[in-house]
Amino acid sequence: MHGRPPTAAILGCADGKFVLPAARRGFDVVAVDIDEVALYGGMTKAADGTPIEMPGLQWRLETEQLEQRVTIVRGDLASVRIAPCDFVFISGALQYSYNLKHRLVDTMSHVRSLVAPGGLVAIEYMLPVTEAHSMLDTHPSADHWPSFFPTPEWTVLANRVADPGPERRPGASVLGTHQFLQWGYITAQKGGFVA
């Protein structure tokens, strides 16, 4: 990295659950989300329909004086144009309802293009828990995920399935309200390591 701070792209960043920790640890972060309220604040609805005010990522960054470390980009993670980063992270956003319009193979091709040589990508993905999910392009089985990282350019470092547990994050529902979701985690490194 030749003395520069490491770079991270958080795709589907919402209001900063993963952005702020990365910025606190010295990463220069590109925070990408399509949701204007999550990024800049405003009124939204809780899972039960109750109106709530969301301060937004911009406010959170200003409050912690981290705005110099983070570039906010309002855009679609499947097509956003940003410089390749040392680390790219996605937590569940690939399977959010908005992204069902994209073919996962195309989205993953774009995501791979956002990783710098020698960089890492880490994805938390939802696994199919119903027959309806299994019919969706966006919910492949865990053993299919490594195919999105073709060799020899990519090395899959880990691909694991977590124990199912309650899902409490708003917006994570794909087909109605889920009481439980099954998660997988994959990490891969792009060839051409640069020291």
Dihedrals phi, psi of 25, to nearest 5 degrees? -90, 10
Mean pLDDT of all residues in the chain?
87
pLDDT classification of 164: cutoffs 50, 70, 90: low
The residue among 114, 23, 118 whose CA lies nearest residue 64 is: 23
Q: Which of 7-21, 43-57, 74-88, 121-135 has the lowest mean pLDDT?
A: 121-135
Question: To the nearest 5 percent, what fractions of the chain are helix, strand and coil?
Answer: 25, 35, 45
Q: In Å, how far are 34, 141, 160, 164, 187 from 145, measured between CA atoms?
A: 24, 7, 10, 18, 10
Helix (H) or strand (E) holding 40: helix 36-40
Alpha-carbon torsion (111, 121, 148, 93), positive or negative: negative
Q: How high is the pLDDT of residue 193?
A: 56
**Could you tell me the pLDDT band of residue 169, with boundaries at 50, 70 and 90?**
very low
Total-model pTM? 0.85
Contacts of 48 (CB under 8 A, 6+ apart): none
Is the alpha carbon torsion for 31, 83, 192, 145 positive or negative? positive
Give which of 101, 97, 154 is closest to 126, Cα–Cα.
97
